[in-house]
Amino acid sequence: MRNLVPVLAVLGAILALWYAAVAPMNIRGALDQAERSGAVVVPEGSAVRARTGTWALVFGNTEHLGLAYALDRPRLPTPGQVAHELWKTTGEMALNGRAMSKRSLLYHGWITLQSTFWGFLLGTTLGILGAVAIVYSRVVDMSLMPWAIISQTIPIVALAPMIIVLSSQMGIEGRGVPKAIISAYLCYFPVLVGMVKGLRSPSASQLDLLQTYSASGAQAFFKLRLPASVPYLFTSLKIGVAAALVGTIVGELPTGAISGLGARILIGDQFGTPLAIWAALVAAAVLAGALVTLLDLAQRVTLRRMGMQG
């Protein structure tokens, strides 16, 4: 309970800032709308207002400020509006039995989650295998590691369309596979780096000790290096799963996808529906939070069962 106070305080501060920012962000739209409906605004005419400072508009039209918080297409929606939109496209639709409708964020979230899962699986597998190869072979360390680092310097937005084109060239139908590849591309790196560090974490004397038992390489791996790397692995997995989600969403953005949270964001942008964008953004954040929390839980349970306090 002691931790709840600071958490709520930060949350409250963010919401307060957000609400405070809504009035100046939306004041022009609100005044345009008020003027059209015949109300008196200062100054009159949107061309004149375009040359007037934002704060002058806010303080000169305090009676219309309420409107800034209730626009249909606000520049910045209020947290309440976003929450309402989110509910409308998730919980409400689910209650009406339309959870998997094409307009439901649950449907789009599910599409994104699937790609994230496959990308995460692929990226994690590659990351772990790469780390093992790097730890056991100096040649691989010297040859693979630079490429791994270079791979992360290329903007994924530039790479994503190429991966889509290449995979369709290779006759792969649909967006699932290329999205998973893009997702894995972002996700393998933290797993690789973390696992290399984890597999190398046993001290020289611990390795010497195994040598005094004439232990085989496989025994050293399974009895020492692998268990020693588990705490590092989980830390990497948490970063990796968030990266995988970002990768999937980026994979849905510039590629003409029509389903998935990334596609919702792009469509919201093209059709000028900021509420849809914000709802999709929040849905993505909630999804990421849930995935990281799930892994955190798995970490605690695993480390406790291994006897290492999480």
Partner 1 sequence: MKDKGDPVIVAKGLNLTFETGDGPVHALRDVNLTIAKGDFVSFIGPSGCGKTTFLRVAAGLEAPTGGTVTVNGMTPDEARRKRAYGYVFQAAGLYPWRTIAGNVKLPLEIMGYDRAEQDARVKKVLELVDLQGFEKKFPWQLSGGMQQRASIARALAFDAEILLMDEPFGALDEIVRDHLNEQLLALWARTGKTIGFVTHSIPEAVYLSTKIVVMSPRPGRITDVIDSPLPKDRPLDIRDTPDFLAVAHRVREGLRAGHAYD
Q: Provide the binding-site residues for partner 1, judged by CB under 8 A.
A: 203, 205-206, 208-215, 219, 223-224, 227-228, 230, 306-309
Structure tokens belonging to residue 15: 């919401």
> CB of 303: closest distance to partner 1 in angstroms?
8
Nearer to partner 1, 167 or 299 (CB): 299
Closest separation in Å from C-beta 125 to partner 1: 23
Report, in Å, the least distance between residue 200 CB and partner 1: 16
How far apart are CB 121 and partner 1 at their closest, in Å?
25
C-beta closer to partner 1: residue 100 or 308: 308
CA distance 66 to 82: 17
Give the shortest CB-227-to-partner 1 separation in angstroms: 5
CB of 308 to partner 1, least distance (A): 5
Smaller CB separation from partner 1, 200 or 223 = 223
CB atoms within 10 A of CB 142: 10
Kindly state the tokens that stand for 271.
Answer: 């059709």
Specify the residue, 222 or 271, whose C-beta has the smaller distance to partner 1. Answer: 222
Closer by beta carbon to partner 1, 99 or else 230: 230
Distance of closest approach, residue 299 Cβ to partner 1, in angstroms: 14
In the complex with partner 1, the residue whose CB is nearer, 65 or 215, is 215
Q: In the complex with partner 1, which residue's Cβ is closer, 154 or 209?
A: 209
Report the distance separating Cα 68 and Cα 90, nearest Å. 26
